């Protein structure tokens, strides 16, 4: 009888709860880390609702969260997530602030969604550090916490193992990113498929895109076709000029419309897709590095390694060692995997 390999311990995640937290953010945290998807190959998580005591925590709309652990459990957590607030100036209980300070001193990763940045700022943990919140709260955060280096436009950012995110949907992006960096792109894609959301948006994208005019709507359709074309030809040496020609635009006009529609530049988007493709191939196949670099469109292993170091702070070989779950390679000559395999079933085209 074959001996089954021992399963890795569940990743321990703490949801910090106190009166005033947003029900939406609680739901996002619970959906990402509190749903068992191990039957689909997702990692095992141990999500705990942590509060000062066992008293139910009231939330807007007649909801209540029932804690299952007290603050002492934070010493066991691998990740601590702070939801946003209904009233962004809500003072967090002193024991919560003290516990967050101790957790950061221990080296535990902290993440705040939307107005949860105000809670971290109350604890003094954002003083002198870069942070982001909902675009409509940036001035409020600057006014009440002037020592925080508030970044004006991003989806999520990290500084000294402290993550902050912009509003609502950006909280989903950050949660999936935290899964990706700990468990790999395939794990994040599995969860994203279940949630029917895009598995990959970079933190540097703009928080919001202005409402399009009818002309911009037509441009968006064209740009969606360009992105689909790019995803199917990533293995080719595509340039921004190539994509502009496919769209029937000048490079300058194409870049302007692309950034307005997606919140990121064509070059950055193209690089993000190449990195995502390489991650999938490293996780799913045992292809040699030069072949992965070719299929992802980097041209050479050296170039791929440089971009991994710059964007992921690791090497392709180290990434494979950490996240590899080999599966059959795509058929030779097919280039990069198709858009379904690259994005885990949720295409970034609409984003």
Residue 208 has pLDDT above 50, yes or no: no
* DSSP summary character for residue 346: S
Q: For the ranges 8-12, 229-233, 330-334, which has the lowest average pLDDT?
A: 330-334
Q: What is the spatial distance between Cα 85 and Cα 88, in angstroms, rounded to a whole number?
A: 5
Read off the pLDDT of each residue in 320-346 and give the average, rounded to a whole number.
49
**Residue 310: count of CB within 10 angstroms of its CB:** 10
Instruction: Specify the pLDDT at position 200.
Output: 53
pTM over 0.85: no
Average pLDDT value for the chain: 84
Residue 275 has pLDDT above 80, yes or no: yes
3-state secondary structure of 70: strand
Residue 211 has pLDDT above 50, yes or no: no
Read off the pLDDT of each residue in 207-234 and give the average, rounded to a whole number.
65
pLDDT in tens, 295-315: 999 989 999 999 999 888 889
Q: What is the spatial distance between Cα 145 and Cα 39, in angstroms, rounded to a whole number?
A: 45
**Are the C-beta atoms of residues 182 and 161 closer than 8 Å to each other?**
no
Instruction: Specify the pLDDT at position 220.
Output: 59
Burial class from Cβ neighbours inside 10 Å (0-12, 13-18, 19+) for residue 284 reads buried
pLDDT in tens, 96-126: 999 999 999 999 999 999 999 999 999 999 9
pLDDT in tens, 163-202: 999 977 889 999 999 998 899 888 888 898 888 776 555 5
Instruction: Specify the pLDDT at position 259.
Output: 83
Residue 215 has pLDDT above 70, yes or no: no
User: According to DSSP H, which parts of the chain are helical?
Assistant: 23-33, 94-106, 116-122, 138-144, 169-183, 185-195, 214-232, 240-247, 251-262, 266-284, 289-296, 301-312, 316-323, 339-343
Following DSSP, what letter does each residue of 29-50 receive, concatenated?
HHHHHSS--GGGTPPPEEEEEE
3-state secondary structure of 79: strand
pLDDT in tens, 229-246: 888 888 888 888 999 899
């Amino acid at each position: 009888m074959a001996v089954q390999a021992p399963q890795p311990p569940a990743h321990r995640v703490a949801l910090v709860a106190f009166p005033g937290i947003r029900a939406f953010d609680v739901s996002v945290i619970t959906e990402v880390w509190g749903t068992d998807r191990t039957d689909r190959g997702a990692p095992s998580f141990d999500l705990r609702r942590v509060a000062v005591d066992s008293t139910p925590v009231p939330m807007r709309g007649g909801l209540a969260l029932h804690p299952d652990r007290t603050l002492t459990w934070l010493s066991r957590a691998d990740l601590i997530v702070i939801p946003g607030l209904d009233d962004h100036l809500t003072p967090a209980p002193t024991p919560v602030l003290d516990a967050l300070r101790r957790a950061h001193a221990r080296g535990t990763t902290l993440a705040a969604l939307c107005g949860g940045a105000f809670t971290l700022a109350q604890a003094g943990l954002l003083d002198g550090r870069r942070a982001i919140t909902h675009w409509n709260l940036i001035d409020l955060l600057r006014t009440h916490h002037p020592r925080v280096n508030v970044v004006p436009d991003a989806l999520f950012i990290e500084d000294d193992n402290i993550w902050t995110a912009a509003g609502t949907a950006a909280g989903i992006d950050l949660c999936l990113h935290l899964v990706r960096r700990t468990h790999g792109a395939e794990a994040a894609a599995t969860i994203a498929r279940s949630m029917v959301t895009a598995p990959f948006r970079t933190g540097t994208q703009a928080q919001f895109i202005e409402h399009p005019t009818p002309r911009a709507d037509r441009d968006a359709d064209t740009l969606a076709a360009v992105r689909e074309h790019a995803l199917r030809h990533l293995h080719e040496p595509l340039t921004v000029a190539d994509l502009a020609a496919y769209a029937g635009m000048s490079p300058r006009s194409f870049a302007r419309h692309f950034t307005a529609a997606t919140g990121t530049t064509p070059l950055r988007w193209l690089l993000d897709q190449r990195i995502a493709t390489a991650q999938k191939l490293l996780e799913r196949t045992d292809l040699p590095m030069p072949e992965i670099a070719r299929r992802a469109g980097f041209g050479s292993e050296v170039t791929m390694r440089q971009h991994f170091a710059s964007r992921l702070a690791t090497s392709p070989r180290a990434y494979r060692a950490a996240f590899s779950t080999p599966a059959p390679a795509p058929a030779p000559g097919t280039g990069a995997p198709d858009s379904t395999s690259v994005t885990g079933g949720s295409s970034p085209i609409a984003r």
